[in-house]
Amino acid sequence: MERVSPAHIAPSDLAWSGLMAAAQAGDRQAYDRLLRDCIPHIKRVARRTGVRPESLDDVVQDVLITVHRARHTYDPSRSFAHWLGAIAQRRAIDHLRHRGRQERREISDDLAYDAFPDAGTTPEGALERDTREREMRGAVAALSPGQREAVELLAVRQRSLAEAAAETGKTKGALKVNLHRALKTLRARFDGAE
């Protein structure tokens, strides 16, 4: 269906096909060059699909990992740009869906904002908040490196388990265990301090 004769493939696409065929045979240099060359193309597809600029790198990372996992499915007699574009578009749509679900879960209550004063607006409140933040930073810094990494990625930067696993190379299970242990340690520390 999308099979195209070599005469109809753009020169850069032909070069990519060659690099991917070499990568399938285990050529790491060709693979490294191919992945780096692909990044602008992936960003273009993601941007066209509607991904916001601040999320482009997340989508690119997801696409590169999918390319790695699916590299055996590429047929060098077909267009590489088309194969890559399909992966990039699908991952961009997955990202937009995930983001949409996240935004639907988060609600804003304007009345609540009006009715409750921000504790940080009074000098005492601001002081108390500063103290709490300092204590919390100290407690997180005192955690083991693995537990600290789990707290920073999952709790502070609000990454999903899959994203954190992709970023650190650790399994989702290991991250969950580290997060639970970290929360237990923090809870014990603050419960004891009260």
Partner 1 sequence: MATDRRLDDVVARLSADLAPVRRLPSPPVRAACWIGIAAVLAAGLALSCDLPALGRRLMVAPDMWLAVLASTTTAVLAALAAFELSVPGRSARWALLPVPALVLWMSASGLGCLRTWTMPDGGGMGEGGMGEARHCLLNIVLISVPLMAVMAVMVRRACPLRPNLTALVSGLAIAAASATLLNFDHPYDASAVDLAAHLVAVLIVMGLNQVVGARAASGRASMPRP
Residues found near partner 1 in the complex (CB under 8 A): 1-2, 23-28, 31-32, 35-36, 39, 57, 60-62, 64-66, 68-75, 78-79, 82-83, 85-87, 90, 162, 165-169
Q: Which is nearer to partner 1, 92 or 186 (CB)?
A: 92
Q: Which is nearer to partner 1, 44 or 82 (CB)?
A: 82
CB 129, min distance to partner 1, A = 28
Query: Is 20:80 a contact under the CB 8 Å cutoff?
Result: yes
- The two tokens of residue 96 are 């937009």
- The two tokens of residue 99 are 């983001």
Query: Is 150:179 a contact under the CB 8 Å cutoff?
Result: yes
Query: Is 151:179 a contact under the CB 8 Å cutoff?
Result: yes
CB 172, min distance to partner 1, A = 8
Q: Which is nearer to partner 1, 24 or 185 (CB)?
A: 24
- The two tokens of residue 6 are 């070599």
Whole-angstrom CA distances from 42 to 10, 106, 107, 176, 194 are 17, 29, 32, 31, 51
Q: Which is nearer to partner 1, 64 or 143 (CB)?
A: 64
CB 155, min distance to partner 1, A = 20
CB 96, min distance to partner 1, A = 15
- The two tokens of residue 103 are 């935004």
